[in-house]
Amino acid sequence: MCTQKEKRLLDFTVYQIYPRSFYDSNGDGVGDLEGIKQKTPHLHALGVNAVWLCPCYPSPCADNGYDVSNYTDIHPLFGDMSDWERLRARLRKSGIRLIMDFVANHTSDEHPFFQQAKTSKDNPYHEYYIWSKTPNTWKSVFGGKAWTYNPATDEYYLHSFDKKQPDLNWKNPRVRKEMQAVVDFWTDKGVDGFRCDVLDFIAKDFSENKLFGGKYLPKYIKELFGRKKTARLFTVGECQTNQATIGDICGLEKGKLSTVFQFDHMRIRGNDKFRPKAFSFDKLKNTLTRWQNFAQKRGIILTLFTDNHDYPYFLSRYGDEGDFRYFSATMYAAMLFFLRGIPFIYQGQEYGAINPYYERIEDFDDVESKNRYQKLLKTCSHEIAIREINVGSRDNTRRPFAWTEDSDDCYGFSNAAPWIAPHTRAKIINLQTDMRAPLSVFRFYQRLFSLRKSHERLRYGSFHALNTNKNAFVYERVYQKNRALIVCNYDCAQTLALPKRFCENGYALALHNYPDRIENPFSPYFRPYETAVYLSK
């Protein structure tokens, strides 16, 4: 059973673009909107039908655009509003919807609101932010205190992230009105939806010592997206949520988010990405299964993602960077994107990108990484510190997209020196080299998205985990008696216990990553990182 509203959401396949690093069309070393427009054929060839565009608004870029100084304009680095309108038109021509990033929790300290607010307690904008004479012990996500002193008013302001990102006071109805106006501005311009940055942080609760996830979150979300004007929008909230609370903010009812990013599967190796614990594939499988079973019982549509601009590459954390890079990239692609939910693929994932490595902290840009490095230097050598930064830095996935193997133009990204050091492995790991290879991650993704598009069972089907061997994830999708069996083997070759009914010839092999499986499609023997997808006839 799948309602029309669920089907509309499950039909989305979203590509996340970090505009600064995607493609530089005007030779200033920074990606831009015209560059994205020129690369629309790549997105269309891949088979995605929506783009999530990370912030491209005016910003001092203390946090690369997540510190917005004007919510209703375009940063000159990326172009202007007419470039944005041309991009939207070009994407739409290719049947690709546009989802903008909505940074609701905080502004830049250079936003006119804060420039006013900090001058005096009597300023009409002062209560747009959160002040205290006696700050509590809350810490910034980027390290250090979450409060910074403001001499003009002899008090401290709250910033959950960098001190150049003062948190907005969502308890103030004027703030909520201002942010509704931002949503309405872009909705009127024809965006198809919003990715809502740290949305749970807008509901703080001092009485319960909650920096995020306070009791007013459902109310604020309903005020934003429960209106007639916003009813058509696709909305995805980035939230530190759990199965007890997700239903309050996400679901098919009016005024709730279409879906959320929750991060349980991204934290299998612990909460500190700079110091990852040992990986357990079994734990990943059980976490994904728990959320799949929960979501379909509760009528919640999940996001399916492994990579984004805040985490090191999934392959470097959970897969293989060496001889099995292609196989692990494609096994995880099948494993995640055939689950029930909305696939989100991040730029670079389509050619099997893995983490780069740098010896110098000067080759890093991210505020979180640089703060961490400075803190590490207090207790350890540069060599130990830089190793940890390479492991966990958000810059891992913010390096310029590697279109070609040609280092002369920064691997097809720009004719100028790029804003950040290029990927150290771009010469061998880039889209052009991948597409020329007999085993291509990109071509596997093309077939995967095409398969999803042509078989409703892979989008709308119910999920059923088949507990087989350890270190393998085997599950079925079932829709209107049509079945799909997805077999994913982790890192050691083994013979898998597959369902009895499956072995008869009622199925056809539809996708596989070891070419020679075609000779013996129903073999239960699976090699390291081997995946195979079968459809009932």
Catalytic residue among 63, 83, 109, 197: 197
Residues of span 255-294 touching ligand TEU by CB under 6 A: 273
Q: Binding to ligand TEU by residue 197, rule CB under 6 A?
A: yes
Task: List the x/- string, 498-537, binding to ligand TEU by CB under 6 A.
Answer: ----------------------------------------
The Cα-based distances of 120 to 129, 152, 170, 218, 251 in angstroms read 12, 6, 20, 32, 42
Q: Is 282 a catalytic residue?
A: no
Residues of span 97-116 touching ligand TEU by CB under 6 A: 103
Cα gap 447→356, rounded to integer Å: 28
Q: Binding to ligand TEU by residue 161, rule CB under 6 A?
A: yes
Q: Which position among 6, 24, 34, 63 is part of the footprint of ligand TEU (CB under 6 A)?
A: 63
Contacts of residue 531, Cβ cutoff 8 Å, sequence gap at least 6: 330, 331, 334, 335, 486, 487, 488, 489, 511, 512, 513
Alpha carbon 59 to its chain centroid, in Å, reads 21
In this complex, which beta carbon is closest to ligand TEU, that of residue 236 or of residue 533? 236
Q: Which position among 22, 23, 66, 449 is part of the footprint of ligand TEU (CB under 6 A)?
A: 66
Rounded to a whole number of angstroms, the minimum distance from the CB of residue 308 to ligand TEU is 7
In this complex, which beta carbon is closest to ligand TEU, that of residue 145 or of residue 464? 145
Rounded to a whole number of angstroms, the minimum distance from the CB of residue 307 to ligand TEU is 12
In this complex, which beta carbon is closest to ligand TEU, that of residue 11 or of residue 178? 178
Tell me which residue has its CB nearest to ligand TEU: 66
Let me know: does 400 contact 21? Beta carbons within 8 Å.
Answer: yes
Q: Binding to ligand TEU by residue 368, rule CB under 6 A?
A: yes
Catalytic residue among 109, 162, 238, 363: 238
Q: Binding to ligand TEU by residue 212, rule CB under 6 A?
A: no
Q: Binding to ligand TEU by residue 200, rule CB under 6 A?
A: no
Contacts of residue 358, Cβ cutoff 8 Å, sequence gap at least 6: 364, 386, 390, 421, 424
For ligand TEU (CB under 6 A), the number of binding residues is: 13
Alpha carbon 406 to its chain centroid, in Å, reads 28
Cα gap 369→361, rounded to integer Å: 9
Q: Which position among 2, 9, 62, 141 is part of the footprint of ligand TEU (CB under 6 A)?
A: 141
- How many other β-carbons are positioned within 10 Å of the β-carbon of residue 207? 7
Amino acid letter, 522: F
Rounded to a whole number of angstroms, the minimum distance from the CB of residue 251 to ligand TEU is 23
Rounded to a whole number of angstroms, the minimum distance from the CB of residue 398 to ligand TEU is 9
In this complex, which beta carbon is closest to ligand TEU, that of residue 102 or of residue 444? 102
Contacts of residue 163, Cβ cutoff 8 Å, sequence gap at least 6: 109, 140, 148
Let me know: does 40 contact 76? Beta carbons within 8 Å.
Answer: no
Three-state DSSP at 476 gives strand
Let me know: does 78 contact 180? Beta carbons within 8 Å.
Answer: no
Secondary element (H or E) of residue 444: helix 441-454
In this complex, which beta carbon is closest to ligand TEU, that of residue 13 or of residue 396? 396
- What are the tokens at 422? 């290029």
Q: Is 238 a catalytic residue?
A: yes
Q: Binding to ligand TEU by residue 20, rule CB under 6 A?
A: no
Q: Binding to ligand TEU by residue 307, rule CB under 6 A?
A: no
Q: Binding to ligand TEU by residue 310, rule CB under 6 A?
A: yes
- How many other β-carbons are positioned within 10 Å of the β-carbon of residue 278? 8
Residues of the shown chain interacting with ligand TEU in the complex, contacts defined by CB under 6 A: 63, 66, 103, 141, 161, 197-198, 238, 273, 309-310, 368, 394
Catalytic residues, by residue number, are 197, 238
